[in-house]
Structure 1
Amino acid sequence: MKIKILFIASILGISCSNDNNVVSSIADTQENFTSLWCVPESNIGGGTSYFPLIESPTFKNITFIDSLNFLVENSKVAILAFEDKIYVYPYDFTNYYEVIDTPIENKNLIFSYCPLTQSSLCFDTNSRTTTSLTMKASGYLYNDNLVLTDDKEEEYWSQIDSKVIRGSNKTDRIATYNLIETIWSVAKTKFPSALVFYHNNTNLCSGCEINEISLNYNNPFGVINEHVKEDTVYLFSYNALTNNAELQTISINGKKTIVVGNKNIPFFNAFYVPSTIEFTLLNESEFPLILKDNENTKWDVFGRAINGPNKGMKLESPKCFIAGMWAWEDFYENRILHY
């Protein structure tokens, strides 16, 4: 039996927000500690049905995964690059966990995908000012979006907000690690040496061609301007790419930023632009190379300089990801549409 008791934050001497209207405290006898939700409790759904924790994920090569005949050409996947390796996360495989801890050399990356909001973010837990994290899906939802928790269930994190919404470190945010969302046919043909996340807890795929984990071209790509009083999201749509591939320039967090998208080889990404560099789009036949700069260096879809005078450089990215339009509306009052 779960008993919820409301406390006044001032009595506890704890403040979760400058807005007292969104402060409530819950003593949860099941979890044996008192926690404070930093968001309206009415926006919290689900419950503590913790998903399995996975700390040592298995990765297989493209040939093995393709031989299973589980994924179809338009199965949705996320791809991230670290050093000289490419990692692919098919959403048909990630749904069993929703949160996958991926230790890579000196990095502890955490991949997450929420099937409801259709949002995929990777977190770099080394960026925290306290300790690195091991995380899993909590079973809770905030605005119908995934809530992550640490392995001790002491802190709860909103995936889309990327910050603590219950726990002691209430001002703590977690940095995102850049990834792209695309489809299986692109992953296997353009990144043949990639490592693909795999586990045995998958169901037989029935009607994969029409399932909910195929790419939804109506979901906007959002770039977050975080360093203002109210976060603003700049939204970009596949349907607005009149030339199939486009490069647009905006200002994010006070920095010149380019947003690159392609509908034929579906992807979006965003990068901060160094002051001395100007970019133009490459022909899509050169993918995963997508950009050429004014110094004759070619850059790939992850912002890495592959050849030319700037080889070895990597562009930094703002927080950016794809999600359902209703999710953007729920989380961001300030939305600028580039449609």
Structure 2
Amino acid sequence: MGWYHKIVNDIVGGQAVVVSFCPLTSTGMLFDGQVEGGRLTCGVSRFLFKNNLVMYDRRDPLNVATLYPQMMGVGVFGQRTNTGLIQLPIVETTWRYWKELFPNSTVVGVIQSEAVRFSPSTNLTARQFSESTYLSYPCADLSYRDPDSRPLIGAFPNLTENPTAQIFQNKDMVHGVRFGEIAKTYPFKLMGEEAVLNDTVGETYIVVNYYAEEKLAISFFREFEGQTSTFEKIDSTTGPFPFLLRDVQTSTTWDLLGRGIEGPHAGKRFTQVPANNAFWFAWATFWQNTGIL
């Protein structure tokens, strides 16, 4: 659905959400759809900002509709300029691993009649409707996700004039954490096969868990019940997790989703950071002063 619609306004477990996906920057981001005064729903503006999806606020008249670049989550034009959306945490991983972690998931889908209505000229099947529309760019010299392939449109500043953008390959994947104007990235290629990283972003203590095989990068706040936790990686022999975490303060064992499974804090949960993954060129274009692992 995300390849074609880019945005899905939905209610999940009673929570109104705006699910957004930009293939050009490889950013899947979730926003709170319950706002003061009612429900927020967004549409695709058909604009791009630094290659990134620009959403419009459906609450506004079209001539003054607020425009939100997805990666910024802040209105840059229209009735609610400078108004920020509330980003929510997500779990991004492979479809195979998602089904293992959440076997009772429901899935947003499309029936054949909807696929035909959406694109009558190409008569897409429901299966094609859910596949990538960006296997290659018309103007690109390499495949869409090749680390060295160019963005669809020119970046500003130009990537060759942006020292930050040149540190890694254009389409290297990174896990990006941002609090206000303080940003930090965790490039997949630097984290090895498995990682538990205790770190700080500005003055905020976080931990990043990474599992390369299933493309899972997920971060949590380390502040918990008045303490700053420090984690170590331990082996796992059961369940869907190849490794687990143990905090040195209480020796509680936690899974990769931040859930206490054994020890004094069993049954409790760490708060997930509302972070997201992205192509390196996109993150480096928006946040040129980003920190790097």
- Pairwise same-fold verdict (TM > 0.5): yes
Aligned residues: 239
**Aligned twin of 2:152:** none
**Aligned twin of 1:173:** 84
Kept in 2, the 8 Å contact 1:114–1:120? The answer is: yes
Kept in 1, the 8 Å contact 2:6–2:20? The answer is: yes
**Letter paired with 2:286:** F
**Aligned twin of 2:256:** 301
Any unmatched runs of 5+ in structure 1? 1-92
Structure-1 separation of matches of 2:40 and 2:202: 26
Structure-1 separation of matches of 2:262 and 2:5: 38
Counterpart of 1:140 (choices 41, 44, 47) is 47
**Aligned twin of 1:269:** 218
Kept in 2, the 8 Å contact 1:99–1:110? The answer is: yes
Structure-1 separation of matches of 2:146 and 2:8: 21
**Aligned twin of 2:73:** 162
Kept in 2, the 8 Å contact 1:178–1:302? The answer is: no
**Aligned twin of 1:102:** 10
Structure-2 separation of matches of 1:168 and 1:205: 37
Distance apart, 1:100 and its partner CA: 0.7
**Letter paired with 2:68:** W
**Aligned twin of 2:176:** 222
Structure-2 separation of matches of 1:169 and 1:123: 16
Any unmatched runs of 5+ in structure 2? 116-123, 137-143, 148-170
Q: Which has the higher strand share?
A: 1
TM-score, normalised to structure 2, is 0.71
Counterpart of 2:28 (choices 100, 120, 125) is 120
Kept in 1, the 8 Å contact 2:7–2:18? The answer is: yes
Counterpart of 1:256 (choices 205, 220, 223) is 205
Distance 1:332 1:271, change over 3 A: same
SS in structure 2 at match of 1:198: coil
TM-score, normalised to structure 1, is 0.62
Distance apart, 1:260 and its partner CA: 1.4
**Aligned twin of 1:3:** none
Q: CA RMSD in A?
A: 3.0
Counterpart of 2:19 (choices 96, 103, 111) is 111
Distance apart, 1:307 and its partner CA: 5.0
Distance apart, 1:137 and its partner CA: 1.6
Distance apart, 1:250 and its partner CA: 2.0
